[in-house]
Amino acid sequence: MTRHIVIDCDPGTDDAVALWLALASPELAVEAITVAGGNVGLERTLTNARAIASLAGGAVPVHAGAGRPLLGRFTSAETVHGPDGLNGVKLPPGRPPAPGLAADAIRARLRTSTDPLTLVGIGPATNLALALATEPALAARIAEIVLMTGAWGEGNVTPAAEFNAWSDPEALAMVLACGRPITLVTLELTAQALVTPSRIAALRGRSDSACLHAACDILAAAPPPARLPGLPLHDPCAIAWLLRPDLFSGRDCAVRVEAGDGEGRGRTHIDRWQLSGRPANAHILERLDADGFFDLLGQRLAALP
Ligand code: BDR
Ligand code: CA
């Protein structure tokens, strides 16, 4: 069965790999790619998303979305992804953006798609929240939402918060409250998907695909991470979950995100041990078969143009 998905992203190095993994996978029909400012400003994330999609062939529409969070100020992650968002790796320019803004495009797809849609959010949740806020009844047309966001422990942008959750916690709170099945890929899960020089070498050897080699160049150019023995490949885990759920294990939990201006802004409170008495509203992925994940990634990317 083909799963129809929309990917909301902010490319971004790991977003690029996630997009190529999705576009390479026959189990997924990528209906649209919607883009927010996040890792770098919207102008760059949109340029990058168009280039990434075009390099993979096909004609998936790419829509521009929110350039800033619902509340608060925009802050990029250029120290991780470089000023251009792809660690300086140049891609051929992509096709022009599709008409219509991200939230409108998501609503239009939900309204008209013959099958319920899966929404995959791998950037700040602003576009998804705007789509749901203006026509909440369309939530019934969502099969599932998969988000790379949050952490049950330490953050990666503040001691309390993961970057996507911190970038727009108000939007994330709206998405978490939408009542549809939600799966979260957190920092604890992605810390098991570590890119190392030997994994990059193994990927490169798979084929002479331009997408595969661009992915390897982007990953090889990443600054060495401060707190882990490799680069966490966050966003592709969200796609891999849809392709090979057998590579993951997890549990249902009550999840809430802290908004407001304090030190805890963007912290996700994930009740793994049912201490809060609140009902579960998300499935939390906890364990990953990393070798299986990298094997899947290599196999799929090698088949792209
Ligand atoms: C998340 O933040 C971004 O920097 C990555 O693309 C990923 O979506 C990890 O915290
Ligand atoms: Ca991202």
Query: How far does residue 124's CA lie from ligand 2's centre (Å)?
Result: 8
pLDDT of residue 58: 86
Mean pLDDT across the stretch 81-108?
A: 96
14 CA from centroid of ligand 2 (Å): 6
| Ligand 1 atom closest to 156 (CA) | 10
pLDDT at residue 157, rounded to an integer: 96
Residue with CA nearest ligand 1 atom 10:
163
What was the pLDDT predicted at 214?
Answer: 98
| 0.95 surpassed by pTM | yes
Give the pLDDT of residue 238: 98
> Would you say residue 65 has pLDDT above 90?
yes
Q: Domain span at residue 244?
A: 3-302
* Mean local confidence (pLDDT), 213-239: 95
Query: What is the domain-level CATH number for residue 277?
Result: 3.90.245.10
Looking at residues 59-66, what average pLDDT do you find?
97
Please report the pLDDT score of residue 225 as a whole number: 85
> What are 194-210's pLDDT values in tens digits?
999 999 999 999 999 99
Residue 154 reports pLDDT greater than 90: yes
Instruction: Label residue 120 by pLDDT band (50, 70, 90).
Output: very high
What residue ranges line ligand 1, CB within 6 angstroms?
12, 14-15, 39, 77, 80, 122-123, 148, 156, 162-164, 234-235
Q: Is the pLDDT of residue 263 over 90?
A: yes
> Would you say residue 95 has pLDDT above 90?
yes
Pocket test for ligand 1, best of 20, 21, 39, 168 (most atoms within 8 A of CB): 39
At residue 1, the pLDDT reads 87
Number of domains into which the chain is organized: 1
Mean pLDDT value of segment 20-31: 98
Check pLDDT > 90 for residue 224: no
pLDDT at residue 181, as a whole number: 98
Phi, psi of 121 (to 5 degrees): -110, 115
Judge whether residue 265 has pLDDT over 90. yes
Q: Which atom of ligand 1 approaches the CA of 9 most closely?
A: 8
Q: How far is the CA of 235 from the centre of ligand 1 (A)?
A: 7
* Alpha-carbon separation of residue 303 from 23, 56, 88 (angstroms): 10, 10, 24
